Amino acid sequence: MGQYTYEILLACGVLSPLVSFWLLVFAGPKLGKPAAGWVAVVLGMGVPLVLATIVLIGWLGETEGGRAALTAGAYRGTWAYIGTIPVTVGVKLDSLTVAMFFMVTLIAFLIFVFSIGYMKGHSDEVAGKSKYHRFFAYLSLFGFSMLGLVLSSSLLFLFIFWELVGLCSYLLIGYYFDKGFASAAAMKAFITNRVGDFGFLIGLMLVFMHLGTLDLDEAATVFAQQYAAGTGIFASHFTLFGWSLATIMGVGLFCGAMGKSAQFPLHVWLPDAMAGPTPVSALIHAATMVAAGVYLVARVYRLMTPEALAFVALIGCLTLTLMALIAIVQVDIKKCLAYSTLSQLGYMIFAMGCGAWIAALFHLITHAFFKAMLFLCSGQVIEGCHHEQDMRKMGGLMKKMPVTGITFLVGVLAIAGTGIPIPGAEIAGRKIGLGGFFSKDEILAVAYVRAFEWDDISKHEEHGEAHGAGHTAAPEPEGSRAMLVADRTQAEHHDEHQPAAAAHGAQSTHDSHGGADRAAIFKDMKKLPSWMFYLAIFTAYVTPFYMMRCWWMTFMGKPRDQHVYDHAHETPLMYVPLVVLAIGTFVSSYFLFRPLIEDASHSATSAAMVLATDGELGTEAIHAAHGWLRWYVGGAFLVGFIVAIAIYRNGLGLAEQLKKVFLPIHTILWNKYYFDEVYDVVWVKGCVLVAHIARFFDTYFIDLLVNLSAAVTERIAAFSGLVIDNHGIDGIVNGIAKTSIDIGGVARAPQTGRIRNYVLFATAVATVVVVCVLAFGMDSGSGAATVASSVAP
Amino acid sequence: MSFLAQTDPWAGIDVGEQLFAFSPMIALICTMLAVVTCPLLFGRGPRPIAIVVAVGVIVTFYLAMRVAGVVSTGAISGLSPGGAGGMLIADPLSAGFQIILMVFLAGIFWLWWMGSAATERNAPEFFILLLGSALGMALMVSTLNLLLIVVAIETASLPSYAIVGFDKRDKAGAEAALKYMVFGSVSAAVMLYGISLLYGLVGSLNVADLAQYVATMGFHTGESSVLLSVGLLAFFAGIAFKVSAVPFHFWCPDAFEGAKVEVTTWLSVASKAAGLILLARVALTFCAAVEAPLNMQFLEPVAWVIGIVAAVTCTIGNFSAYKQESVKRLLAYSSIAHAGYMMMAAAVFVYAGSPGYTAGLTALLVYIIIYMFMNLGAFGITALVVWDGGSDKLDAFNGLMRRAPWLAIPMIICLMSLVGLPPFAGFIGKWWILVALGGLDSTLGWFLVIAAVANTLISLYFYLRIVVRMVFAEDQRAAVRAPVGGIALVNLCALALLLLFVFAQPLKTSAEQLSRGMYQAVASNTSDSSSARVADSGS
Amino acid sequence: MLSIGLTHYLVVAAVLLCTGLFTIMTKRNAIGILIGVELLLNAANVNLVAFDRFREGGLFDGQIMALFIIVLAAAEAAIAVGICINVYKNLATVDVDSARQLQG
Amino acid sequence: MDLLTLIVFLPALGGLLCLFVPRAQVRVVAVLASLATLLVSLLLFPTFLGGAEAAESIFGTSYGKLQHVIRLPWITGEGFEIEYFLGIDGLGFPLIILTTLVSFLSCLASWNFDTWKINKGIRGYFFLFLLLETGMLGVFVSLDFFLFYIFWEVMLLPMYFLIGVWGGPRKEYAAIKFFLFTLAGSVLMLVALVAMYFYGGAAIEAAGGSVPSGYRVTDSGAPVAITHGTFDLIELATNDVIQKYFSAKATLFLGMRFAPIMFMFLFIGFAIKLPSVPFHTWLPDAHVEAPTPISMILAGVLLKMGGYGFLRLCYPIFPLGGEYWAFLLATVGVVSILYGALCAMAQTDFKKLVAYSSVSHMGYVLLGIAVMTPAGFQGAMFQMIAHGISSPMCFFLVGVIYDRAHHREINRFGGLWLTMPKYGTMATIGFFASLGLPGLCGFIGEVWVLLGTFDAGSKYTWAYPMAILAAAGVILTAGYILWLIRRVYLGNEREEYRGFPDASGREIFILVPMAILCIALGVLPMQTVFNFTNGTLDLLLAGVTDTINAMI
């Protein structure tokens, strides 16, 4: 396909949901109940899905060089000028975009379909007015914003769509806004995101000021050049908590991601966001929007300094651990999934932080599939169980809703990272396992290397530089790093890896965006603290546990609530998407997306950091790590499952006893470490308090000044005998008026009405004037005598 | 020089021309006589008197116009050869002021005719007094002789005293007259004392000689500076009384509140204006007498005194107007404040010294004219309201917008014009004063500019109080019954205020020409008159 | 022996002035105030005449002026008394302090 | 009859007409008059179309290229010339359009005058209303300082009566407060007016009595000779001699350096109008008491005069003042942003909340101008326009619900989105626009200003913390707006509002244009605003920086 065909197709894919949005806004009520939904399904996501598929196929047909050319030549137009700096609007066209675009459209499409079924069962009438069309309008708007986010090539537009998806999430969480908690949750979500965006804005400012452009690629180039030359942002000696300006820029941008992806300090909104309809939770708060944070980090990866990445890793690590622990004690099925989402997002961010760019995105996509599926299943369950979300009331639903049960199980297996770690067990050179298996495994491998073997690698690197300098046409160390990798693979591995590695090297050498200097940055990258690795792998054991717990409590065992059980059922319109997603979870994730991401990685990250390809390819360190890690990681799910089943096999009895045993821990986890409470006191209440202080100040402080001045005036006018009236005063003006009136009192005081006083005052003042004039106006002469003498005869 | 020195006092005096030059005043006197005799012929009814007065005013106006035409080429000095030395002066300034005075007198007459005429029993006396004070003011602005200044001031004051307490059955009027009288006579006496000292020092009653003496001796010679300064200040006290400048303003509110509205209107503009013109003339003479190098060291203190007095007058006037319940009194205070503004202009032309800086005088003249309309309008409306409701308290104005829009709207215009708010002429008046002050480019100038604008702000509040009562206050009283003529009068004033804003140019131009002429005239006659005197006072 | 010079006259005049002012400020009777005013005027007269007398060559303007002042004083007194009578009619007293209706 | 004069005085004529038509027709006449003004003002567009390539012919190569100029002598004397001097450039033009548009819409919003609590004197109301419009338009087109001042004051009285007569319970208080504050500002301006004239004269005096004009050329192409002080704003800004004299160290005004002190005089005048903390207290009262259409005018246009004044007077004429006070001004701006937002958060009166949000939003204008960067200026200008559209919309939204509920207690509302869906949708657009949501007009201005401020960091180190604090404002804004939306529009329907009719056709007709503009400005800032303003703004800023650099 031609240069602009891709852009045009993708752009249409972005715009068609917008069309459906306006259509639904204006014509929605007339379209009525199912029709509006179908409009959204077809126009809102069907068209984009088709286009995305076309693009994907076309893209897979392109050669490496062709893709690079397309990426380089992608459309850029000037939208506006900030000062003198143009803001470009354009398409960031590379494999990652294509992959994400396809993933989003596919999942979104399925969820749209699902929603129709879902909404059929749900009352969308509030106070006799249908909000049905509104729901699908919002979904369409979300589709537009999310796809725009994926597509945009400039940070500013990234930010714009960023906010728009935030808006959609606000609107959709608050879809049942007639319920207090829903609108509260919506507001919480938006404001928490705003807090993140505050950081994002600061990052933007730094980019704008120091890199002088908002275009992702240009920014990266300038950044690299500035690093090489030590100019621009690297020239300033400003530091904050030991962070250089460049680092602050990276962290700032990452703050945005923290908001959207609900990372550790800003995670509080996501569980509440489950107040929205379940499809929304699946689409926005599991699959796509929350992953946008990871996507953002991936996009600004080339603007990240090692320190920034360390911070990213830290946040990710904390999130994945803490949230996983909370998930253990959840009894609300959606909340449970929400916390597992948080934990998985933590994994992705952590991966980004420790440099597993590919792994992170890979995990993003696999997670998108199985988490969306899990949420839809939960939706199915909740729907089936008559809006019952408490797992303690469920159980034994397998018989009533087998499809849901199976698909749910698939999801559980996937998120648990099920696979067969035995070396022999391979199909076409690929390990057997579900998405989670590979991605998580890969993340951990990289984490391991970063934690334990990084020093050797950086040493190798220096050696490699010299080596590579002579070896390839590309003198830059990054290229040589790539060559180094290639060499190793050539030297030590089976031949089938060679082409890929060569490709890798080739990629790196003709890689644009001055990745060279970026690689240099990473030479002084620190080791990852080993505890992070341990936490990560520990959580790898926790995850299967709580997932299996969740599944078992829901589907296995005996029914705990007969009424719920009797009501349970499932509807085709809803489980068809489940099946599709399940299949997706099985296959497409690995066979399709992984190579695309890897392909994107070279240009999108300036490959120095792409240590972690997957288990098969990479430095020997990672390879070695895989050698034994796969046993631990791969085996984790067995342990988790067994423990979970052991505890919940027959009812909740054992769980209850355990709860008693670990009561303090349980309480802390149950209350989510009291984050909400603390935030409520510190931020919300604090802010409102400050606000009231401000208002008080505004209303009364100036008034105080006024009274003060008035009082002073009164002192002056002690005899004017005016009392200051205090009513109806706020603001200086009354002060002026009142003070004036008092001065008026002073001024009028001599006007006693006694003519004799008048004469007295007049004479007195006149005398004073005379005296003054004599004193200052002129040197006091010798007076009458001299006159007399002068005129004497 | 002594009288004996002059052999033939009548040599080279064209009596006819000179009589013509002062015909306006003569006409006024004739009118007064006519008013006296009129009752003998036609009875004491207001109508014949009114006719006589109307004719008299018109004739005077006509004559003043003609005189103005003649003297525009050069001043004529009364009953003396050459430009100066005479007691009476007819020049553009005096003629111009007489014209303004007649216009204003006509306005007052109209107002009287609309309101009091019906009930007035002593029309002849009233007009004799009114015309008398008018005559006095006409004299005030056309002399430079200390003796005649005193006479003129008294001529203007004595009838005023009487006319303030004209209504015999009115307690307030009687009290007002008493206060006015006592205060006036005291300040006149003080002024006389000052004049006696000055005369003693200079040995002449001619202000030109006084100026010359001061210029040559200055304050810094040590010679008799005490007597000189005391004398000068006492002399200025007399003028300050007419202008009602602090601290000689006390009479003003009481007298104005007690008097009938027409009288208040008359005094509020005419006597102040006359006083200011007199001040202007004296000040000009001083400036002209003083050579450039001297004038800073000598005139600057004077200017500062006048300037500060002006600023204080403004401020006290404005502040005192707060919380006034009687509109007449409120406007009385406001007139004090406006006297302050005008004195700022006076400060300018004392300060500037350098001949040819006419901005100050120009501003003063423009302001007087505009102020005349503003006050005529404001007091006129007050009068109409008073005649209708019998009270001049603020409450009488409640809901005027509904009860009499054709009074309320011009009132708003007049008040806002008094504040000095565009697009009304009051702003133009202030504007020229500010320009004149700014033109000084001196600390005094900018100090006064700031004082002036600050006072604008202060004054807004109490003017608004009336507006608030008129527009916002709900009031169920019946509509105001006002004579059409009166309504016409006040609306004409309001209209004039609008027009004088839009067409500010002609007024300014003419005032500028007039003042420029003044400067030349004064400069010339001072220089040629007092050379001899300087010689022998020097010896 | 002591020769009476200009200074003495000036001093006398000044004393007259102060007395007059003092009278005006202290007397409550309107007529008393009028007398005070007369004192002021006469202070001026004394000055004028004295100056005329002591200037070498002698002058007459001052004396003429003194005459004028006397006339003015008469006129003023006439008006003043008229007003006082009017006040008396209205307030039944000539105590100026009782005339306090207008103030503030 | 030239275009600008027509635009300026058309409303006044309509107003006069209003006085003489039968009571029933008054509002028709008024609406038609304002509509006519709007249409005529649209005739200005062709002048400014043409985009980048025509930029030079439209905006010139240096500050001072004007369009539709008319200048006639008004009050003259030797060494003294006050002119009737109108003209527009990138500064005035968008604001004129804004004024005519907002006036038209709010005139339409007064359509239901008869149903108001105070519905007496309809003639007076519309007369004053249109007089007010004339005043506002005059301010934006007049380039002679004297004339500018006149129009500035002409606006006062109508506004005073509009608030004071047809306002709420404490109307008189609010009206007087408004009047006193504004007059306080304008008397300072008056001092500056006189001073600038004479100091300019002194400058030319010093330069030998005749200097070439900074921007005016005779037909032969030679620059016009300036022989005395002038009120010509462009001349004052562009004439090197005057500029040098103004900003010279030796030039003193009452012992203080001329440029800074004059700048401060003007600044206070405009800051009161803007309004920026601490001169803002008149605004909430005025808004709360004023009837809805007047609030729309007040928020939509009057506040913009402050910003316009900065850009037209303060900075071009006293660049040094800008440099001198930069820190103070930026601080005031940031304080206004945060303080206004906090006050808004604490309000329970719907209108007061919106009023305080105006304080907060105009803070961005001040900040953007104060830092003197291209992005800052552009952002400030855009913010003015954007706020000029979004805040009247918000006020009208308040008005709509006030007409029905007859109270503005935020906490007594709820679920209005259910009760009035159309209205709810409009409200969402309006309030999200003022929240600064990307894709809507509020966003552009804020981001531009923030980036501009940060960009100034290379000049002033303090710009970084300022920018960051200002950026924190976006959180607060989101806070109070979303909280407002939640309390008023979300939640379950309330009994007492159940019967409320949805927005009527007229209301929709007023809301839709503003909603469309909110989106259009947010999506196409270049085409809607920047193309018309940037030309002038950049030249203006260039001139300013040149002078500053020359002086330092």
Say yes or no: D475 contacts chain B, CB-CB below 8 A.
no
Chain B residues in contact with C20 (beta carbon < 8 A)? 189
pTM value is: 0.88
> For chain B, what percent of residues have pLDDT higher than 90?
42
Q: Which two tokens stand for residue C50?
A: 């004295």
Q: Which two tokens stand for residue B123?
A: 């029309």
Distance spanning both ends of chain B, measured CA to CA: 13
Nearest CA to A342 out of A410, A273, A407, A280 is that of: A273
Rounded mean pLDDT of D176-198?
89
Chains in contact with B, where contact requires at least 3 CB pairs less than 8 Å apart: A, C, D
SS3 content of chain C, % helix, strand, coil (to 5): 75, 0, 20
Q: Residue A729 above 70 pLDDT? A: no
Q: Where are the domains of chain B?
A: 15-538
Cα distance between residue D214 and residue D239, in whole Å: 4
pLDDT: is D423 or A479 the higher one? D423
Q: Residue A90 above 60 pLDDT? A: yes
Say yes or no: A754 contacts chain C, CB-CB below 8 A.
yes
Query: Per residue in D349-379, pLDDT tens?
Result: 999 999 999 999 999 999 999 999 999 999 9
Neighbouring residues of D92: CB distance < 8 A, sequence distance ≥ 6: D140, D141, D308, D312
pLDDT: is A382 or B240 the higher one? B240
Q: Residue B62 above 90 pLDDT? A: yes
Cα distance between residue A211 and residue A220, in whole Å: 9
Rounded mean pLDDT of A438-449?
79
Q: Residue B537 above 70 pLDDT? A: no
Average pLDDT, chain B: 84
Q: What is the dihedral of CA B445, B446, B452, B457, to 10 degrees?
A: 180
Q: Residue A217 above 50 pLDDT? A: yes
pLDDT of residue A727: 32
**B103 pLDDT band (50/70/90 cuts)?**
very high
> For chain B, what percent of residues have pLDDT higher than 70?
88
Kindly calculate the radius of gyration of chain D based on its CA atoms and give it in whole angstroms.
23
Q: Where are the domains of chain D?
A: 3-551
pLDDT of residue A302: 83
Q: Check CB contact under 8 Å for A691 and D457.
A: no
Cα distance between residue A187 and residue D376, in whole Å: 31
Q: Check CB contact under 8 Å for C91 and B162.
A: no
Rounded mean pLDDT of B60-83?
75
Nearest CA to D543 out of D60, D63, D58 is that of: D63
Q: Which two tokens stand for residue B26?
A: 């003569």
pLDDT of residue D142: 94
Q: Where are the domains of chain C?
A: 6-96
Cα distance between residue D154 and residue D128, in whole Å: 11
Among B185, B188, B199, select the one facing C62 at the smallest CB separation: B199
Query: Does domain C6-96 match CATH 1.10.287.3510?
Result: yes
Of A436-450, D59-73, D230-244, which range is least confident? Answer: A436-450
Q: Residue D147 above 90 pLDDT? A: yes
Of A595-604, D6-15, D32-41, D452-461, which range is least confident? Answer: A595-604
What are the backbone dihedrals phi and psi of residue A782, each rounded to the nearest 5 degrees, phi first?
Answer: -85, 0
Among D339, D373, D525, select the one facing A80 at the smallest CB separation: D525
Q: Residue B384 above 70 pLDDT? A: yes
pLDDT of residue B85: 58
Q: Residue A666 above 90 pLDDT? A: no
Q: Residue A518 above 70 pLDDT? A: no
Chain C residues in contact with A759 (beta carbon < 8 A)? 21, 24-25
Query: Per residue in C19-77, pLDDT tens?
Result: 999 999 888 889 999 999 999 999 999 999 988 888 766 667 888 899 999 999 999 99
**B139 pLDDT band (50/70/90 cuts)?**
very high
pLDDT of residue D160: 92
What are the backbone dihedrals phi and psi of residue D275, each rounded to the nearest 5 degrees, phi first?
Answer: -100, 150
pLDDT of residue A755: 82
Nearest CA to A310 out of A217, A444, A447 is that of: A447
Nearest CA distance, B170 vs chain A (angstrom): 17
Chain B and chain A touch, per 3+ beta carbon pairs within 8 A? yes
**A487 pLDDT band (50/70/90 cuts)?**
very low
Chain C residues in contact with A784 (beta carbon < 8 A)? 7, 10-11
Q: Residue D82 above 80 pLDDT? A: yes
Chain A residues in contact with D438 (beta carbon < 8 A)? 159-164
Q: Please identify which residue in the block is written with the tokens 């065909």.
A: A5
Query: Per residue in A342-353, pLDDT tens?
Result: 999 999 999 888
Chain D residues in contact with B437 (beta carbon < 8 A)? 194
Residue A701 has a CB neighbour count (10 Å cut-off) of 14
B483 DSSP assignment: -
The widest CA-to-CA distance across chain A, in whole angstroms, is 145
Encoded amino acid at A370, one letter: F
Nearest CA to B230 out of A315, A771, A380, D404 is that of: A771
pLDDT of residue A427: 59
Asked if D36 and D9 touch (Cβ cutoff 8 Å), the reply is no
Rounded mean pLDDT of A533-540?
87
Nearest CA to A549 out of A391, A701, A321 is that of: A391
Q: Which two tokens stand for residue A352?
A: 């980004």
> For chain D, what percent of residues have pLDDT higher than 70?
99
**Residue B20 CB burial class (10 angstroms; 0-12, 13-18, ≥19):** middle
Chain B residues in contact with D176 (beta carbon < 8 A)? 461, 464, 468
Q: Residue A607 above 50 pLDDT? A: no
pLDDT of residue D516: 94
Q: Residue B443 above 90 pLDDT? A: no
Give yes or no for a cis peptide into B247 (omega within 30° of 0).
Answer: yes
Q: Check CB contact under 8 Å for B233 and A773.
A: yes
Q: Which two tokens stand for residue B422?
A: 């565009």
Q: Residue D424 above 70 pLDDT? A: yes
**B337 pLDDT band (50/70/90 cuts)?**
very high
Q: Residue A469 above 50 pLDDT? A: no
Q: Please identify which residue in the block is written with the tokens 């569980």.
A: A271
Query: Per residue in A93-112, pLDDT tens?
Result: 888 888 889 889 988 998 88
Say yes or no: D153 contacts chain B, CB-CB below 8 A.
yes
Kindly calculate the radius of gyration of chain B based on its CA atoms and give it in whole angstroms.
23
> Which ranges in D167-257 belong to alpha helices (H)?
171-206, 233-238, 240-247
Say yes or no: A756 contacts chain C, CB-CB below 8 A.
yes
Rounded mean pLDDT of B326-354?
86
Chain C residues in contact with A748 (beta carbon < 8 A)? 104
pLDDT of residue D470: 92
pLDDT of residue A471: 36
* Helices A155-173, D441-455: crossing angle, 10 deg rounding: 140
Q: Residue B20 above 90 pLDDT? A: no
Encoded amino acid at B144, one letter: L
pLDDT of residue D63: 87
SS (H, E, C) D212-227: EEEEEECCCCCEEEEC
Q: Residue A475 above 50 pLDDT? A: no
* Alpha-carbon distances, residue A462 vs A456, A532, D198 (angstroms): 10, 27, 73
**Residue D91 CB burial class (10 angstroms; 0-12, 13-18, ≥19):** buried
Which residue from B minimizes the CA distance to A768?
A: B247
Test mutation, D187, D272, D342, D441, chain A, max A CBs within 10 A? D342
Of A163-177, A671-685, D423-437, which range is least confident? Answer: A671-685
Cα distance between residue B414 and residue B423, in whole Å: 11
Among A748, A763, A788, select the one facing C6 at the smallest CB separation: A788
Average pLDDT, chain A: 75
| Beta-bridge mates of residue D252 | D257
What are the backbone dihedrals phi and psi of residue D280, each rounded to the nearest 5 degrees, phi first?
Answer: -95, -10
Distance of CA A415 to the CA centre of its chain: 21
Query: Per residue in D497-529, pLDDT tens?
Result: 888 888 889 999 999 999 999 999 999 998 899
Average pLDDT, chain D: 90
Cα distance between residue A621 and residue A610, in whole Å: 13
The widest CA-to-CA distance across chain B, in whole angstroms, is 79
Q: Which residues of A touch B (CB under 8 A)?
A: 736-737, 740-741, 743-748, 750-751, 753, 755, 758-759, 761-762, 764-766, 769-770, 773-774, 776-784, 786-787, 790-791
Chain D and chain C touch, per 3+ beta carbon pairs within 8 A? no
Kindly calculate the radius of gyration of chain A based on its CA atoms and give it in whole angstroms.
35
Encoded amino acid at D305, one letter: M
Say yes or no: B250 contacts chain C, CB-CB below 8 A.
no
Q: Residue A60 above 80 pLDDT? A: yes
Q: Residue A500 above 70 pLDDT? A: no
Nearest CA to D533 out of D369, D357, D290, D341 is that of: D369
Q: Which residues of C touch A (CB under 8 A)?
A: 5-7, 10-11, 21, 24-28, 33, 51, 54-56, 96-97, 99-104
pLDDT of residue D84: 93
Q: Sign of the CA dihedral D276, D281, D284, D286?
A: negative
Distance spanning both ends of chain D, measured CA to CA: 46
Distance spanning both ends of chain A, measured CA to CA: 126
> For chain A, what percent of residues have pLDDT higher than 70?
75
Which of A37-46, A634-643, B68-77, B334-343 has the highest average model confidence (pLDDT)?
B334-343
Which residue from D minimizes the CA distance to B409?
A: D124
**A523 pLDDT band (50/70/90 cuts)?**
low
pLDDT of residue B32: 93
pLDDT of residue B534: 36
Query: Per residue in A300-340, pLDDT tens?
Result: 888 888 888 889 999 999 999 988 888 888 888 888 889 99
Asked if A309 and A297 touch (Cβ cutoff 8 Å), the reply is no
Q: Residue C13 above 50 pLDDT? A: yes
Residues 1-20 in C contacting B (C-alpha not used; CB under 8 Å) = 10, 13, 17, 20
Chain B residues in contact with A736 (beta carbon < 8 A)? 461
Chain A residues in contact with B301 (beta carbon < 8 A)? 773, 776-778
Cα distance between residue D160 and residue A116, in whole Å: 57
Cα distance between residue A28 and residue A20, in whole Å: 10
Query: Per residue in D86-107, pLDDT tens?
Result: 999 989 999 999 999 999 999 9
Phi-psi region of B177 (alpha: psi -120 to 50; beta: other; left: phi over 0): alpha
Q: Check CB contact under 8 Å for A759 and B254.
A: no
**A7 pLDDT band (50/70/90 cuts)?**
confident
**A511 pLDDT band (50/70/90 cuts)?**
very low
